[in-house]
Amino acid sequence: MIENENLMLNKEFVNNFSEVESAVEDMSKRLSDLESLLDAASAQLQDSRNNTHEVLEKARKLNLHKKHTVEKKEVLNLFSSRFILPLEDEARIRNSDSPIDEDFFKSLKQLHRVRIEARHMLDELNDSDSTRTVQGVAADASSTPSSTSQEGNSHDELKGAFHYDAALAVDILHQTSDLQEIAYERIFVWIQRQCKELITVADDSEAEEEVSRRIRKGLQVIRHRTVYFNHSAKEISRVRRQLLMQKFHETLTKGGPTSRPIDIHAYDIVRYTNDMLAWIHEQVAAEREFFIQTFSEDEETEGRSKSPTNNTAYTPPAPASRNQDDVD
């Protein structure tokens, strides 16, 4: 009886334990699944960390590259402002249809500035290369064989950079030289047209002064181009001679705004000659002042030519009075 009860209890225990075992196995399976999920999450987290690190590294490199690019852009902008003529100024000089006005002369001034900067850079490179050469000779005399090769490599690198910079300066001078020659040729032709206009405005003193001012400005630009300058000077002399002969003929035959013709006194050889000489003396002084102003090298010289001490214009004295019998 007791054995049967023990057997029943054991069977009941086994049945109950099987349920516990099943629950434990289910929990173990769930734990295994959870562990797998945790492993997957850990792997994904590690991948995310790796990817994030790569992204951050790329972002750091991009920021560094951006910084270098901005610095290069600033250097290029500085270089362009000093050694490259703006396209607008270049087009204004090259285009034969564009007028030669204040903007044209401003563009030409910018061109001269670029050439001066290029020459200055070339001079500095030549001076620095000479200094390095002297220092290199002194270093070779006192250096050991082990350090000679390293210094030689450094010297070769500096020499290569020097030749590159020097070639760049020479290229700038070569490119701007053609443009400068175009500008000089245009100014030369423009001065010829101004000389022709000087004839048409001979009766208008204000217009004549304005044309003369433009001629002076053009001559100051081409002063160092001997061929253009000499041809322009000859053309100006020819025009002034023509104007002077025209004025002399009008003074003889028509007179001036406040004077009578000189020819009316042709019967009196002394007065006739004196009036002509007085007019010639006055015109010579005026022409002298005109040529001093026109061919002056700077505004200071021009200002001195306008000062009272240099004004040699002569006003002829009034002729001596004659009685009516002498006139008759």
Kindly tell me if the per-residue pLDDT of 146 is higher than 60.
no
Q: Which residues contact 177 (CB under 8 A, 6 or more apart)?
A: 115
At 167, the pLDDT band (50, 70, 90 cuts) reads: confident
Q: Which of 209, 182, 211 is nearest to 196 (CA)?
A: 211
At 324, the pLDDT band (50, 70, 90 cuts) reads: very low
pLDDT tens per residue, range 14-69:
777 777 778 888 888 888 888 888 888 888 888 888 888 888 888 999 999 999 99
Would you state the pLDDT for residue 133? Answer: 55
Mean pLDDT of the chain: 78
Would you state the pLDDT for residue 130? Answer: 60
Q: Which residue has the higher pLDDT, 102 or 328?
A: 102
Label residues 151-190 b or e (16+ Cβ within 10 Å = b).
eeeebeeeeeeeeebeebbeebbebbeebbebbbebbbeb
Q: Which residues contact 42 (CB under 8 A, 6 or more apart)?
A: none
Amino acid at 55: V
Would you state the pLDDT for residue 235? Answer: 92
Take residue 29 and report the two structure tokens written for it.
């399976």
| CA gap 206, 72 in Å, rounded | 53
| CA gap 92, 112 in Å, rounded | 15
At 184, the pLDDT band (50, 70, 90 cuts) reads: very high
pLDDT tens per residue, range 127-141:
765 655 545 544 454
At 238, the pLDDT band (50, 70, 90 cuts) reads: very high
Share of the chain above pLDDT 90, in %: 21
The model's pTM: 0.62
At 268, the pLDDT band (50, 70, 90 cuts) reads: confident
Kindly tell me if the per-residue pLDDT of 183 is higher than 90.
yes
Would you state the pLDDT for residue 137? Answer: 47
Q: Which residue has the higher pLDDT, 257 or 131?
A: 257
Query: Which residue in this structure is represented by tokens 């003929």?
Result: 249
pLDDT tens per residue, range 287-319:
898 888 888 775 444 444 444 333 333 333 344
